[in-house]
Structure 1
């Protein structure tokens, strides 16, 4: 039951992000320097939304003689289009945030990890295209690519989408302006 609750909460946050995006607002960025990551996924997600709209029109034409099925599919198709737009919006309105004492690394509504600046042992600009799962590592690729690697001097805890606590020692993330993020972290 907890898993279902977490997934419903996840969906609500995605749609909440869509509302923030329409209102041109951001979530949790007050008092910090913002580093976006959504530019790398924008064209893919918006293209997927366009394909979903085309699919909606095609299915509507095929089911025009079955009003009940047409209504159900229309609702599902509209939900899908809004969900895809919401996933993009979540990346736009929830960027990485650097404050005076921590870096808040985020990936839409799915990941939100607060890394104290004192826990960052090394930071470097590193473009990686492959990411194999390894215990103690958190990879947050956009378009299958990460551009910044953080090696932590001490493990940092975070909670997965389904509520499982984990600790990480290496965080790889994507930033639209990776050099600026690395410079800001090096100065801190």
Structure 2
């Protein structure tokens, strides 16, 4: 993975951000593929190379529940990426999965680097604001097993419903084809 991480960071470092805006690294791909793990590696490596810890945005905090994938793409683009591109702090109301409603405001400050990870963050509307895009994938059975290990068997219907939304989004967006780096876990 070190070689792919180096390629991703080289792409991000070679892309000059708009004046006053951060460089944004997006990590997209289907659920259970390892995006969160990769985002931690990217954030650690950016901190080591630049001396500045990037702000990390998790799409799981933005999705408005199990049926909110399309809405979350609009939210992260409009409330976070477009604001940051203008040199203005962005943010969003975190989704409280237990209560099934929006919770506290999470500010995303303008910084040198921002890492956004999660399904949909590499979509067409987000791409103009990205310095680099990674696509992380794994076989469907592997991803389902990872998700159910984390969330429990009772979440299988939710994961199956979510997978249908992912299929629709990725077909429409062709996100994988726009990635700078592809990692199969």
Shared fold per TM-score greater than 0.5 = no
The structure carrying a bigger strand percent of its residues is 1
TM-score range (shorter-chain normalised) is under 0.3
Structure label with greater radius of gyration: 1
Structure 1 length normalisation: TM-score? 0.24
TM-score between both structures, scaled by the size of structure 2 = 0.24
